């Protein structure tokens, strides 16, 4: 630490007119929230006030020949800038905001009651600088997949606490205490009555701010919470990412397993090497081919810069063509990847319809076994139930919703909420209507609400009558869950709505991990930037800078993967430290 002859500011003095103490108390004490200190007795006789707050020592001295300081001023950094401003405004103090931020922070000018200029600066670090320094905040379901009594959603990263504040409405959670909260999504819609636990950094599993939500056990609910957290700025965690962060933060207790860590690492390494070798030969070839098209212009550009008198720089027009082509191909890779992800994770299907239209019977028939509770009493299905069945090898995650009724009893309220959400978030809606009875108001409503969505309208119970059947937009089927032909039609309709007429080509869907999607997204972003730079006639080195980013992102997809990805792979494959 450097020592300076004149080391620091001991106090600041502002002049006020005689008799100004009371007005000063209100302004500095109440509005700016500085704490008044009693003046030493020997000085008290001179009048004036002393304030202290944190490192601020402010003296207000009586000047018999007072003139307000209109230019020279004191600037206070406020940790609660917004509330200070609100207090000042409420007290009728004119606030002159400066639109230009001061070192990236908001600031403004006010005058104290005597006309002295005071500057206020927002002391909260700007979100941007905080973000730049932190790894992205991640979220995932922490409990094993499937139905359990409780599912846990974990959020880790610098935004964890602000996300928790958004989802719980609670401004602060007591550290390491279970707090009962009414969980809402990003739009304020109720999600669940849950427990929330906050583990502030560094005393958490990952060493970052961590918030956990303990929810009632429905998988769809956990996914909803994850989705809401993502909407609030988190990113879906990659496999093993929590563990990896924990490791990097030195948080994983390997005591005791230290001896076998070598063994595990050795296995991981060979397994990861092997996995990498296998990692979609097709993807590798495709990426290698894309990189090879960048190589010539990049090498030429580099050579033209280092040997300017000897090598011509690459021509812009062909470069722009290459950039356009790569953009197209990467976008296609991304789309294929999305299809692949959809296929691996399954297609969500919400079975909706008025009570007693036969939704549960339909699901049971599709599943081939009796799972959901079935009865003739309307509203028997109290909870959304998620089940899986397969069509052409693709998982369909079917959610049988509770009957959506106008007069639901209280016990059903929560189930109905969830049904609404399932209705909104499912990729495919299967609207089951009773064909034998005139269409109920609720049926009409559902038809109207599902207009424009990917939906299949199934007029059920056609064996009993078809008075409700009418032409509707999109796919529609008339039949009965008792008829095998109807079931075949339904399965075909689900396949068509889920992944189109083309048979899903799992071979083409190479992108498997979140990081691969990220890499492709990065490459695409850099390509767009390169295209814009070329169009604006920017210097070629700057275009090259973008293209090198493209190359680096693509390299991430190929065998020379970065160690971070390796780590992710190792931790995804081996359950270390759990």
Partner 1 sequence: MEAMHSDDAGVIVVGGGHAGVEAAHAAAKMGVPTLLLTGDPSRICTLPCNPSIGGSAKGQLVREIDALGGAMGVLADACSLHARFLNESKGPAVRALRQLMDKPSYNRMALRLLQTLPALRIEAAMVEELIVSAGEVRGVRCADGRSFYARRVVLATGTFLGGKLFRGEEVQPGGRHAEAPAIGLSHALRALGFSMQRLKTGTPPRVDRSSVEYGAMRVQEPSATPLLFSRRSEARFAGEQLPCYLIDTNERTHALVRENLHRSPLYGLDLIRGIGPRYCPSIEDKVIKFAHNPTHQLFIEPEGWDEPTLYVGGFSTSLPADVQLAMLQTLPGMERCEMLRAGYAVEYDMVAPTELDDTLQTHRIAGLYHCGQLNGTSGYEEAAAQGLVAGANAALAARGRDPLRIARSEGYIGVLVDDLVGKGVDEPYRMLTSRAEHRVLLRHDNADRRLTPHGRDIGLVDDSQWMVFTEEIALLDRAVSDAERLRLPVREIGSERFQAPPTLAEALRRPQVRVAELRPWLPEELSADLAERIEIEVKIEGYVKREEQAIVQAARRERLVIPADFAYEGISALSSEAREKLARQRPRTLGAAGRIPGVAPTDVAILSLHLQRPEHGSAAVTR
* Interface residue list for partner 1 (CB under 8 A): 100, 132-133, 135, 247-248, 250, 252-255, 258, 261-262, 265-266, 268-269, 272-273, 302, 304-310, 313, 536-542, 544-545, 548, 560-563, 565-567, 570
Residue 151 CB coordination number (10 Å): 26
Query: Shortest approach of partner 1 to residue 23 CB, angstroms?
Result: 35
Least distance (Å) between residue 206 CB and partner 1? 13
Q: How far is the CB of 247 from partner 1 (least distance, A)?
A: 5
Choice between 448 and 539, CB closer to partner 1: 539
Shortest distance in whole angstroms from residue 289 CB to partner 1: 22
Distances (CA, A) of 118 to 48, 74, 109, 113, 241: 18, 6, 6, 11, 48
- Rounded to a whole number of angstroms, the minimum distance from the CB of residue 239 to partner 1 is 15
Closer to partner 1 by CB, 104 or 115: give it: 104
| Token digits of residue 121 | 């600066």
Of the pair 434, 551, the CB lying nearest partner 1 is at 551
**Angle (CA) 497 501 506, round 5°:** 95
Residue with smaller CB distance to partner 1, 236 or 545: 545
For tokens 């009586």, the residue is 62
Least distance to partner 1, CB of residue 285, Å: 20
* Smallest gap from residue 57 Cβ to partner 1 (A): 29
Count CB-CB contacts under 10 A for residue 458: 28
Cis previous bond, 420, omega within 30: no
Interstrand relation of 56-62 and 49-53 (parallel, antiparallel or unpaired): antiparallel
Q: Least distance (Å) from partner 1 to the CB of residue 468?
A: 59
CA atoms within 13 Å, Cβ hemisphere of 561: 23
In the complex with partner 1, which residue's Cβ is closer, 310 or 376?
Answer: 310
238 contacts 568 by C-beta, under 8 angstroms = yes
Helix (H) or strand (E) segment spanning residue 350: strand 347-352
Task: Identify whether the C-beta of residue 108 lies closer than 8 Å to the C-beta of residue 62.
Answer: no
Name which of 162, 161, 142 is nearest 152 in CA terms: 142
- Our CB check for partner 1 shows the closer of 127 and 172 to be 127
The H-assigned helical ranges of 173-257 are: 219-231, 241-248
CB 277 to partner 1: min, Å: 12
Compute CA distances 510 → 99, 283, 285, 499, whole Å.
48, 6, 11, 16
Nearer to partner 1, 45 or 317 (CB): 317
Of 204 and 384, the one with the shorter C-beta distance to partner 1 is 204
Most distant pair of Cα atoms in the chain: their distance: 102
CA distance linking residue 196 with residue 217, whole number of Å: 15
Of 42 and 560, which has the nearer Cβ to partner 1? 560
Going across the sheet that includes 179-184, the strands are: 179-184, 190-199, 210-216, 150-156, 138-141, 235-236
Closest CA to 374 of 366, 383, 364: 364
Nearer to partner 1, 361 or 529 (CB): 529
Give CA–CA dist 224/54, Å, rounded: 43
Identify which of residues 304 and 401 has a Cβ nearer to partner 1 in the complex: 304
Tokens of 440: 């109920």
Distance of alpha carbon 323 from alpha carbon 291, whole angstroms: 11
The residue among 4 and 307 lying less far from partner 1, judged by its C-beta, is 307
Question: In degrees rounded to 5, what are phi and psi of residue 128?
Answer: -60, -45
Q: How far is the CB of 577 from partner 1 (least distance, A)?
A: 11
Separation CA 357–CA 378 (nearest Å): 9
Shortest separation between residue 569's beta carbon and partner 1, angstroms: 8
Q: In whole angstroms, how close is the CB of 537 to partner 1 at the nearest point?
A: 5
Q: Name the phi and psi angles at 258, rounded to 5.
A: -50, -40
CB of 138 to partner 1, least distance (A): 15
Nearer to partner 1, 149 or 539 (CB): 539
Nearest to 425 by CA among 193, 159, 226: 226
């Amino acid at each position: 630490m450097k020592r300076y002859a004149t080391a620091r500011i001991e106090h600041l003095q502002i002049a006020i007119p005689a008799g100004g103490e009371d007005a000063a108390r209100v302004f500095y004490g109440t509005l700016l929230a500085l704490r008044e200190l009693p003046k030493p007795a020997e000085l008290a006789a001179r009048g004036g006030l002393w304030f202290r707050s944190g490192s601020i020592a402010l003296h207000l001295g009586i000047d018999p020949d007072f003139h307000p300081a209109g230019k020279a001023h004191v600037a206070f950094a406020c940790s609660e800038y917004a509330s200070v401003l609100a207090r000042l405004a409420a007290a009728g103090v004119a606030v002159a905001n400066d639109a230009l931020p001061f070192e990236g922070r908001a600031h403004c000018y006010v005058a104290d009651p005597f006309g002295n200029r005071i500057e206020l600066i927002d002391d909260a670090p700007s979100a941007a600088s905080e973000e730049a320094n932190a790894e992205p905040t991640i979220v995932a379901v922490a409990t094993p997949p499937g139905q359990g009594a409780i599912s846990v959603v974990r959020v880790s990263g610098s935004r964890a606490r602000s996300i928790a504040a958004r989802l719980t409405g609670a401004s602060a959670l007591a550290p390491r205490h279970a707090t009962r909260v009414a969980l809402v999504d990003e739009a304020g819609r109720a999600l669940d009555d849950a427990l929330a636990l906050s583990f502030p950094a560094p005393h958490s599993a990952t060493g970052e701010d961590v918030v956990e939500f303990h929810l009632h056990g429905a998988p769809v609910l956990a996914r909803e919470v994850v989705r809401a957290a993502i909407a609030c700025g988190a990113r879906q965690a990659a496999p093993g990412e929590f563990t990896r962060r924990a490791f990097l933060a030195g948080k994983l207790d390997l005591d005791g397993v230290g001896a076998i860590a070598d063994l595990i690492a050795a296995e991981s390494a060979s397994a990861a090497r092997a996995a990498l070798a296998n990692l979609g030969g097709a993807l590798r070839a495709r990426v290698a081919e894309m990189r090879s098209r960048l190589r010539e212009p990049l090498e030429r550009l580099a050579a033209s810069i280092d040997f300017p008198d000897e090598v011509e720089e690459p021509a812009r027009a062909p470069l722009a063509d290459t950039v356009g082509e790569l953009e197209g191909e990467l976008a296609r890779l991304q789309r294929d990847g999305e299809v692949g992800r959809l296929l691996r994770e399954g297609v969500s299907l919400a079975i909706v319809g008025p009570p007693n239209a036969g939704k549960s019977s339909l699901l049971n028939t599709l599943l081939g076994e009796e799972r959901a509770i079935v009865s003739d009493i309307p509203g028997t299905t109290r909870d959304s139930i998620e089940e899986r069945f397969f069509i052409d090898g693709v998982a369909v995650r079917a959610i049988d919703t509770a009957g959506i009724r106008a007069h639901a009893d209280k016990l059903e309220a929560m189930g109905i909420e969830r049904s609404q959400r399932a209705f909104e978030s499912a990729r495919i809606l299967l609207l089951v209507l009773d064909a034998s009875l005139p269409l109920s108001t609720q049926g009409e409503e559902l038809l109207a609400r599902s207009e424009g969505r990917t939906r299949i309208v199934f007029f059920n119970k056609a064996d009993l009558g078809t008075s409700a059947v009418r032409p509707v937009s999109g796919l529609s089927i008339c039949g009965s869950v008792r008829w095998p032909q109807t079931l075949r039609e339904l399965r075909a309709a689900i396949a068509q709505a889920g992944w189109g007429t083309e048979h899903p080509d799992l071979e083409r869907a190479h992108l498997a991990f979140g990081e691969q999607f990220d890499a492709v997204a990065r490459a695409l972003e850099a390509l767009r930037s390169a295209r814009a730079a070329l169009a604006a006639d920017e210097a070629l080195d700057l275009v090259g800078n973008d293209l090198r980013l493209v190359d680096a992102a693509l390299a991430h997809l190929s065998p020379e993967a970065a160690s971070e990805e390796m780590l992710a792979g190792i931790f995804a494959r081996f359950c270390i430290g759990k």
